[in-house]
Amino acid sequence: MSYGGYGYGQQGGYGQPQAPQGVDPNWLSGIFQRIDRDRSGAISASELQVALSNGTWTPFNPETVRLMIGMFDRDNSGTINFQEFMSLWKYVTDWQNCFRSYDRDNSGSIDKNELKTALTGFGRLFNFIRM
């Protein structure tokens, strides 16, 4: 399954094998090593599922975790190595920042008005891209 159209997992953009801007690669390496419980040098779907938190203390949906692995598994190993993990980290961080920018009251949820603002903004973005 390829998600290359989104700019992730390709050379350039999010596919660059470097830590995201403002993130210490050594710190990110420590995170990677804590997630890689079996010390294989790669993170499996089950290891990633354990590491992810959705804020409700319930496990992430296994299919969501498999999709996340698939988006960044450039070598088709079924796992993500450190280089791929850096791209995943950037992707998740970007989405968190996007969410927070629309969660104006910092409630951890997007209410009806915040969603309307987000969709309006996305609509302008898509119209701009089509031009």
Residue 99, amino acid: F
pLDDT of residue 8 exceeding 70, the answer is no
**Angstrom distances, CA of residue 112 to CA of 76, 119, 123:** 40, 11, 16
Q: Which residues, other chains included, contact 108 with Cβ-Cβ below 8 Å and sequence gap of 6+?
A: 55
- pLDDT score for 74: 94
**Angstrom distances, CA of residue 97 to CA of 1, 41, 92:** 26, 28, 9
pLDDT of residue 42 exceeding 90, the answer is yes
**pLDDT digits over 60-69, tens only?**
889 999 999 9
Whole-prediction pTM value?
0.68
Q: Which residues, other chains included, contact 4 with Cβ-Cβ below 8 Å and sequence gap of 6+?
A: 10
Band of residue 37 on the pLDDT scale cut at 50, 70, 90: very high
Residue with the larger pLDDT of the pair 68 and 116: 68
Buried b (16+ CB within 10 A) or exposed e, 21-30: eeeeeeebee
